[in-house]
A and B are shown apart, each in its own frame.
Chain A
Amino acid sequence: DADVTQTPRNRITKTGKRIMLECSQTKGHDRMYWYRQDPGLGLRLIYYSFDVKDINKGEISDGYSVSRQAQAKFSLSLESAIPNQTALYFCATSDPAFGGAYNEQFFGPGTRLTVL
Chain B
Amino acid sequence: AQSVTQPDIHITVSEGASLELRCNYSYGATPYLFWYVQSPGQGLQLLLKYFSGDTLVQGIKGFEAEFKRSQSSFNLRKPSVHWSDAAEYFCAVGAASNTGKLIFGQGTTLQVKP
Residues of A bordering B, CB below 8 Å:
4, 31, 33, 35, 40-45, 48, 50, 56, 58, 90, 92, 94, 96, 101-110
Contact = CB atoms under 8 A, between A and B. Distances in A.
Nearest to A110: B43
Residue of A35, A41, A101, A103 most packed against chain B (CB within 10 A): A103
B51 interface: yes
Contacts of A31: 100
Contacts of B105: 42
Assign chain B's interface to a size class.
20 to 34
Given A42-B107, A101-B51, A103-B95, 20 more contacts: A33-B100, A40-B106, A42-B90, A42-B104, A42-B106, A44-B104, A45-B102, A48-B100, A58-B101, A92-B44, A96-B100, A103-B32, A103-B34, A103-B101, A104-B46, A105-B100, A105-B102, A108-B43, A109-B43, A110-B43
Contacts of A103: 32, 34, 94-95, 100-102
B99 interface: yes
Nearest to B109: A39
B43 A48 contact: no
